[in-house]
């Protein structure tokens, strides 16, 4: 069944499928694709077209919270695209999906039209099972599509957000309390940086602890600022930072920005990067 | 005349001319091109073919030291090419040029066959005017080509080297002596880092001073290490670093490496950079 969805994306001209993974416990698949705006819109429409006949939320269960057959579609700006481009694409795609498939759509994150619906967690609260009741209450009229759930496909969240960076800092200690205290100090929910989610975890096999983080906007909360804050908080507790790691992908700009930041680089432009020049210029 | 040389490169298939500049005082032109090994070899042969009928060193003068009509050809590894690739290409190109044009060639820097001929300055010493005498002395038999200068075109240096980074650090002071002392502390020639050339200069219009540097191997002498050393030397003299700047182009790897360095990033690979994944992978 997942193969049908993957094929729908693969067959869309101008779209490259970068990654796909399925988690049986979550009963959920994630597809990552890249392309320009019209190609991505076409791919998302193709994906809904393949998913709706195949997935019935009335008989679906899994550990991960969800409101729809196509639960969430985030557009992420890369390679010269701006957040404004992604917000426009999210709106346009949401409108087309709602019209073609009669699925209610909530715009979220940077594409949200209501601050109360900015966070995906708030949109998902109650899940598919609670959706009909929730949609009948004030503030939950969708941005596009019918005012009640699609019978089998529920609703979808479509939005725009910055690329997320999974970033972990390992501490040269086995004291889990220290990792938890530092996580609390740097994460938004307990007074830390606006775009940091963090928790302290134990790396049993190595006998050390880790501050495990998601950086949800590396432009507004840069990696280096987070690293330095963790280092300072660790030092305050007599603990050293052992190393850090990026899990999965990271936009080049996040690392280039880190270099600019630490070197106090002034008047630097992306055109100064040799590889950019190679790709863009021929005189 | 320069237009003829530029055209020779432009017309070579598979080669992209990235930049060219001519300095009237130096009476010298610099062409920057990119391509794979066979294309670059063909472009250099085409350049010699265009330059030799056009440039006669017997009637040439200019402020910049030179030994030949095509004075120097450095091959620089970028985008996955290794230094070994560039050394091999330098040797192959040198042999082809010597054979086709009867120009003596000295291999230099990483392609050098003799440590005494590694530095371009040593090869150039005496310039075209002293070349016949120099080539007759021990140790100056060229790597390829005749044992005496080409009558009008002299000799050429062909080699392989790392991309050079022009890197300046501005100090929050007008004390030129501090900039000069710091330059002396970090440059190779007076006991500093192996791949740093540095001098202290005054930025008159801003009322500050600068440590002006060339970093000749950012892998072995990383930017961040140099920045930190300058900062420490400045602090020792009660001076702060105001900012730094990269002049012209810089390989992405030098900035990515800076980020890895400061973040203590472990087990990071270039495949984790989103833009690299976009260009390389289609699943």
Q: Do A256 and B260 touch (CB under 8 A)?
A: no
Q: Burial-class residue A1 by CB neighbours within 10 Å (0-12, 13-18, 19+).
A: exposed
| Contact residues, B window 73-92, toward A, CB-based 8 Å cutoff | 78-79
pLDDT score at A283: 42
Q: Do B273 and A255 touch (CB under 8 A)?
A: yes
State the count of interchain CB pairs (< 8 A) between A and B. Answer: 144
B107, B91 contact by CB (below 8 A): yes
Query: Using CB atoms, which residue from B245, B255, B266 is nearest to A243?
Result: B266
pLDDT at A173 over 80: yes
Secondary structure (3-state) at A278: helix
pLDDT category of residue B63 using cuts at 50, 70 and 90:
confident
CATH architecture of the domain with range A2-160: 2-Layer Sandwich (3.30)
Chain A touched by B2 (CB under 8 Å): no
Could you count the other beta carbons within 10 Å of the beta carbon of residue B83?
18
Of the residues B20, B26, B60, B64, only one is catalytic, namely B64
State the smallest CA–CA distance between residue B215 and chain A in angstroms: 14
- Please tell me the distance from the alpha carbon of residue B183 to that of residue B230, in angstroms, as a whole number: 8
Of A68-77, B200-209, B264-273, minimum mean pLDDT range: B264-273
- Please tell me the distance from the alpha carbon of residue B144 to that of residue B48, in angstroms, as a whole number: 15
State the smallest CA–CA distance between residue A74 and chain B in angstroms: 16
Q: Do A273 and B250 touch (CB under 8 A)?
A: yes
What does pLDDT average to over chain B? 93
Q: What angle do CA A113, A114, A119 make, to 5 degrees?
A: 105
H/E segment holding residue A105: strand A105-109
Which residues does chain B have within 8 Å of residue A262's beta carbon, measured at their own beta carbons? 224, 227, 258-259, 262
A168, A243 contact by CB (below 8 A): no
Which residues does chain A have within 8 Å of residue B245's beta carbon, measured at their own beta carbons? 265-268
- Please tell me the distance from the alpha carbon of residue A272 to that of residue A195, in angstroms, as a whole number: 29
Q: Do A34 and B278 touch (CB under 8 A)?
A: yes
State the smallest CA–CA distance between residue B122 and chain A in angstroms: 29
State the smallest CA–CA distance between residue B102 and chain A in angstroms: 31
This complex has an ipTM of 0.76
Q: Do A78 and B258 touch (CB under 8 A)?
A: no
Q: Burial-class residue A109 by CB neighbours within 10 Å (0-12, 13-18, 19+).
A: buried
- Please tell me the distance from the alpha carbon of residue B88 to that of residue A53, in angstroms, as a whole number: 59
Query: Using CB atoms, which residue from A249, A258, A275 is nearest to B252?
Result: A275
Chain A touched by B3 (CB under 8 Å): no
H/E segment holding residue A200: strand A196-203
The structural domains of chain A, with segments of one domain joined by +, span: 2-160, 165-272
- CATH placement of domain B165-251: 3.30.70.670
Same fold, A2-160 and A165-272: no
Secondary structure (3-state) at B35: coil
Strand partners, A201: A210
Query: Using CB atoms, which residue from A16, A227, A245 is nearest to B266?
Result: A245
pTM over 0.90: no
Highest mean pLDDT among A1-10, A59-68, A99-108, B74-83: A99-108
Chain A touched by B224 (CB under 8 Å): yes
Chain B touched by A235 (CB under 8 Å): no
Closest residue, chain B, to A166 (C-alpha): B272
Could you count the other beta carbons within 10 Å of the beta carbon of residue A103?
26
Chain B touched by A251 (CB under 8 Å): yes
Q: Do B262 and A262 touch (CB under 8 A)?
A: yes
**Mean pLDDT value of segment B187-209:** 95
Q: Do A252 and B250 touch (CB under 8 A)?
A: no
pLDDT score at A282: 46
Q: Do B249 and A273 touch (CB under 8 A)?
A: yes
Angle of helix A37-54 relative to helix A2-10, nearest 10 degrees? 160
pLDDT score at B282: 46
Q: What pLDDT digit, counting tens, does each position of B3-43 carry?
A: 999 999 999 999 999 888 887 777 888 899 999 999 999 99
**Mean pLDDT value of segment B95-108:** 98
pLDDT greater at residue B127 or residue B64: B127
The CA–CA distances, whole Å, from A144 to A103, A124, A125, B163 equal 8, 17, 19, 53
- Please tell me the distance from the alpha carbon of residue B145 to that of residue B98, in angstroms, as a whole number: 5
pLDDT greater at residue B226 or residue A279: B226
Q: Burial-class residue B84 by CB neighbours within 10 Å (0-12, 13-18, 19+).
A: exposed
Q: Do B251 and A274 touch (CB under 8 A)?
A: yes
Strand partners, A90: none
pLDDT category of residue B280 using cuts at 50, 70 and 90:
low
Determine whether domain A165-272 maps to CATH 3.40.50.300: no
pLDDT at B279 over 50: yes
Chain B touched by A32 (CB under 8 Å): no
Query: Using CB atoms, which residue from B34, B244, B274 is nearest to A249?
Result: B274
The CA–CA distances, whole Å, from B240 to A134, B62, B210, B230 equal 58, 40, 12, 10
pLDDT at A241 over 70: yes
User: Tokens standing for A136?
Assistant: 């009948």
pLDDT score at A280: 65
Chain A touched by B235 (CB under 8 Å): no
CA atoms within 13 A on the CB side of A157: 28
pLDDT score at A25: 78
State the smallest CA–CA distance between residue B136 and chain A in angstroms: 41
- Please tell me the distance from the alpha carbon of residue A270 to that of residue A69, in angstroms, as a whole number: 40
Q: What angle do CA A135, A138, A144 make, to 5 degrees?
A: 50
**Mean pLDDT value of segment B212-226:** 95
Chain A touched by B13 (CB under 8 Å): no
């Amino acid at each position: 069944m997942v193969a049908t969805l993957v094929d729908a994306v693969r067959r869309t001209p101008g779209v490259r499928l970068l990654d796909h993974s399925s988690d049986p416990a979550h009963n959920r698949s994630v597809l990552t694709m890249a392309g320009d705006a019209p190609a991505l819109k076409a791919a998302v429409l193709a994906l809904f077209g393949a998913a709706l006949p195949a997935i019935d939320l009335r008989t679906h269960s899994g550990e991960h919270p969800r409101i729809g057959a196509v639960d969430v579609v985030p557009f992420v700006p890369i390679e010269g695209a701006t957040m404004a481009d992604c917000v426009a694409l999210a709106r346009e795609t949401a409108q087309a999906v709602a019209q073609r498939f009669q699925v209610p759509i909530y715009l979220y994150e940077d594409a949200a039209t209501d601050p109360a619906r900015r966070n995906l967690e708030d949109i998902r609260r109650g899940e598919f099972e609670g959706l009909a009741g929730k949609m009948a209450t004030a503030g939950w009229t969708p941005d596009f599509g019918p005012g009640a759930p699609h019978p089998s496909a529920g609703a979808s969240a479509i939005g725009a957000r910055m690329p997320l960076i999974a970033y972990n800092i390992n501490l040269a200690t086995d004291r889990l309390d220290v990792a938890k205290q530092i996580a609390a100090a740097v994460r938004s929910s307990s007074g830390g940086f606006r775009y940091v989610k963090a928790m302290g975890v134990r790396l049993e096999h190595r006998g050390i602890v880790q501050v495990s983080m998601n950086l949800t906007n590396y432009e507004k909360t840069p990696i280096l600022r987070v690293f330095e804050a963790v280092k300072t908080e660790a030092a305050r507790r007599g603990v050293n930072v052992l190393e850090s790691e990026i899990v999965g992908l990271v936009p080049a700009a996040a690392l280039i920005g880190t270099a600019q930041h630490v070197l106090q680089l002034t008047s630097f432009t992306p055109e100064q990067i040799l590889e950019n020049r190679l790709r863009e210029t021929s005189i």
